[in-house]
Amino acid sequence: MGHPMISKSAIADLPAPAPRSGDSATLAADIIERLTYSIGKDAKVAKPHDWMTATILVIRDRVIDRWMASTRKTYEDGSKRVYYLSLEFLIGRLTRDAVSNLEMLDEVREALQSLGVDFDAVAALEPDAALGNGGLGRLAACFMESMATVDIPAYGYGIRYVHGLFKQQMSDGWQVELPETWLSHGNPWEFPRRESAYEIGFGGSVDTIGNGSDETQRCIWKPQERMIAVAYDTPVVGWRAKRVNTLRLWTAQPIDPILLDAFNAGDHIGALRESNKAEALARVLYPADQTPAGQELRLRQEYFFSSASLQDILRRHLQQYGDLRTLPDKVAIQLNDTHPAVSVAELMRLLIDVHRMEFDPAWDITRKTFSYTNHTLLPEALESWPVPLFERLLPRHMQLVYAINAKVLRQARKERGYDEGQIRSVSLIDEGGERRVRMGNLAFIGSHSINGVSALHTDLMKQTVFSDLHGLYPDRINNKTNGITPRRWLMQCNPELFKLIREAIGDDFMDDAEALSALGKFADDTEFRTRFAAVKRENKIKLSNLVARRMGIRVDPSALFDIQIKRIHEYKRQLLNIIEAVALYDQIRSHPELDWTPRVKFFAGKAAPSYHNAKLIIKLANDIARVINNDPSVRGLLKIAFIPNYNVSLAEIMVPAADLSEQISTAGMEASGTGNMKFALNGALTIGTLDGANVEIKECVGDDNIIIFGLTAAEVAERRATGHDPRGIIESSPELSQALTAIASGVFSPDDRNRYGDLIAGLYDHDWFMVAADFDAYAQAQRQVDSLWVDEEAWYRRTILNTARVGWFSSDRTIRQYAKEIWKAGP
Ligand SMILES: *Cc1c(COP(=O)(O)O)cnc(C)c1O
């Protein structure tokens, strides 16, 4: 580590900087100082954005003190490090999170107030970092915060996309995608680490040295194309700032010498091409969600960040311990889905080709080090790459995949007596049609632990996608039900509810979400219920103001707020919700004499730009909203609002305002869901199917406090296998027929009467997602919700019990389980 310019003895004598004070007067003085000396602005002319940057820099100093202490401690006590590899981190805004976890919210607020600046306004200026698509990326963000909270030395590794998930605008009700530019004003939260840079290769050829067998020959990969991965670090503050961990995101830069050679040779265009190629790599997040992005660039991104992360991990381990054989004792690497699965082959390459290890010990280390989280059973979402593409980009890794495969298949045949059908299913190569490398199988075979993300999903994993691999390695599959961080998803997004709970049950739940159970006895306390309802009402007023301001839609805060926010996907069945709205609209008009429950249906979510039906469903929601919202015969009893540009910040406003949480996926298709947990924690009742974590939420909150409907996963599988008759189902349901006929005949799309013809025809024809099959049960469940809503006392009793009973879904609990059962790390 030494450098001739730096004298060790001089460093030893340097006084450590005094930790920065957190009192409001010091904070205020520091903010002015930063404004002046870091930003170069006089307070008198500073723009809101300058105040934001100065504030972040001052908070950041307080974080750094604890960050360095955490890093030092890990180095000194030799504890095991956890590395969370994820192509997505949906972190949202960081400032409130950091201040709140430092427990300096009041002081920072006061400091800014003394300068005439409003903290909430400053915090709202921070761009929402959307380096992810949805649940998988948000899980990674919650996990980062929880790992710091439960004091696990951890690094998140990912890509620093210049453009995060696209910004969604509505144009005449259609989704339009605009580029997202979160870095355009700089990012005061990140630190470039130019010294942490690694070379990443692509293509080229492999030279073989020696004449050993396939498994022992030594190879030198000569990549044809090379670039540099450079690290940017963002601190992640745990609750009460006990520990601060690092989120390390990689960016790609061209290799300077090549660039200069070309440039000096007069090939200016060629030089630029190299530089553009490198920069293109980290430019965009793939906006696909649960569909494979079949682009070469995607595989390049996956390899790029896997290789950079592994080189960094090995460097750190060698620097501290000097021997890679101890890697599994000191390092656990979690693969978040298959996106980093190529890491399995990359670690083998590094161990064998660079660090001169034999194949077998390298394989042993690899499996002991990696573990893999599966997030989906959808066959179309299980990643695989055409063999020719994989071989062209990663020729050495292709050899290693073949060598690993040979070993595993031999064992499967010999030790387990696997037949050819089973061999085909466990192979790393899909031989049916175009040959492809299966990343799910690679991640499975290269890991000692494979976990699902809810009890149901883990069971289905054993029965379906990985059944033959499970037979081969029966102790590897385990369950870790997802969780959410209660800091962001209760304390910060719902401060009034947080305060109310604290007054009722004290502070224990702040360090142990399961202590929320003490709230249970207040469910029968009339005064508490009234206050709980008042908090909900205030949150609903805030959301009402937002839709009035942004969309010009006026809604009544005393109506039932029914919310479905998540990626738009057919399996999540926003269509079921929309069709039910049309049916309800018909009913309200046909029976004006009845006492209808006033309801506002809110939607938000993005559709993958290439996902035709999902985009059409957004347009349908908007078409229906326009008609219903403007029909005086509904008398405001039903309103619909699709709020554009769903992201973490919008979720933080919508979740606390919900009375009803829509979790209505086709059973067996949602691996876990985490939106469901956020809503229950904030006192909404769930209407949902027995899917993902809904099953476990039901067990926690009790059958009386959740509304479950529809086919079970087993029934869905059965119908799909034996074929079902959606036309018959539709024709025997007058409400459904009427709603579908109205939509298909253009009642809501007079400008293009055929717009929804094909979408609705799909329901009559195959109804793959069981929208028709579940419609009557869903509509009936909604009428049951209406009747529950009428008894206000009983409603709030139920919502309080939801909040009281879902503490188990804290990501602290999830992370403790990973640490104990998979990583063998942490306190
Ligand atoms: C929690 C969250 C999700 C996941 O929602 P699901 O309902 O589980 O699909 C997606 N996007 C954002 C912004 C979130 O906060």
Q: Is the pLDDT of residue 308 over 90?
A: yes
Residue 674 annotated to the active site: yes
- The mean pLDDT of the chain is 95
* Closest ligand 1 atom number to CA of residue 672: 8
Give the mean pLDDT of 10-37.
88
Predicted local distance difference test score (pLDDT) of residue 1: 45
Distance of CA 62 from the midpoint of ligand 1 (Å): 30
Q: Which residue has the CA at smallest separation from atom 7 of ligand 1?
A: 675
Q: What is the pLDDT of residues 98-124, one digit of tens each?
A: 999 999 999 999 999 999 999 999 999
Q: Is the pLDDT of residue 534 over 90?
A: yes
Q: What is the pLDDT of residues 353-404, one digit of tens each?
A: 999 999 999 999 999 999 999 999 988 888 999 999 999 999 999 999 999 9
Q: Is the pLDDT of residue 2 over 70?
A: no
* Closest ligand 1 atom number to CA of residue 652: 15
Judge if the beta carbon of residue 673 lies within 6 A of ligand 1: yes
Residue 567 annotated to the active site: yes
Q: Is the pLDDT of residue 64 over 80?
A: yes
Sign of the torsion formed by the C-alpha atoms of 749, 750, 751 and 757 = positive
The helix, strand and coil proportions of the chain, stated in percent and rounded to the nearest 5, come to 55, 15, 30
Q: What global pTM score does this model have?
A: 0.97
Predicted local distance difference test score (pLDDT) of residue 292: 79
Q: Is the pLDDT of residue 42 over 70?
A: yes
* Closest ligand 1 atom number to CA of residue 605: 11
Question: Residue 510: which of 502, 521, 518 has the closest Cα?
Answer: 502
Helix (H) or strand (E) holding 78: none
Distance of CA 681 from the midpoint of ligand 1 (Å): 14
Q: Is the pLDDT of residue 275 over 80?
A: no
Q: What is the pLDDT of residues 127-154, one digit of tens each?
A: 999 999 999 999 999 999 999 999 999 9
Q: Which residue has the CA at smallest separation from atom 11 of ligand 1?
A: 134
Q: What is the pLDDT of residues 741-771, one digit of tens each?
A: 999 999 999 999 999 999 999 999 999 999 9
Q: Which residue has the CA at smallest separation from atom 10 of ligand 1?
A: 134
Q: Which residue has the CA at smallest separation from atom 6 of ligand 1?
A: 675
Q: Return the SS3 of 156.
A: strand
How sure is the predictor about 212, in pLDDT bands with cuts at 50, 70 and 90?
A: low
Among the listed residues 251, 597, 674, 686, the single catalytic one is: 674
* Closest ligand 1 atom number to CA of residue 646: 13
Q: How many CB atoms lie within 10 A of CB 783?
A: 12
Distance of CA 451 from the midpoint of ligand 1 (Å): 20
How sure is the predictor about 216, in pLDDT bands with cuts at 50, 70 and 90?
A: low
Predicted local distance difference test score (pLDDT) of residue 529: 98
Give the mean pLDDT of 705-733.
96
Distance of CA 678 from the midpoint of ligand 1 (Å): 9
Q: What is the pLDDT of residues 482-501, one digit of tens each?
A: 999 999 999 999 999 999 99
Residue 375 annotated to the active site: yes
Judge if the beta carbon of residue 566 lies within 6 A of ligand 1: yes
By CB neighbour count within 10 A (0-12 exposed, 13-18 middle, 19+ buried), where does 303 fall? buried
Please state the three-class secondary structure of 358-384 as a single string.
Answer: CHHHHHHHHHHHEEEECCCCCHHHCCE
Extended strands (E) in 80-145: 81-85, 89-92, 129-131
Q: Which residue ranges form the domains of the chain, and what is each CATH number?
A: 16-77+104-125 (no CATH), 79-94+129-481+817-823 (3.40.50.2000), 557-804 (3.40.50.2000)
Q: Which residue has the CA at smallest separation from atom 4 of ligand 1?
A: 135
Q: What is the pLDDT of residues 555-567, one digit of tens each?
A: 999 999 999 999 9
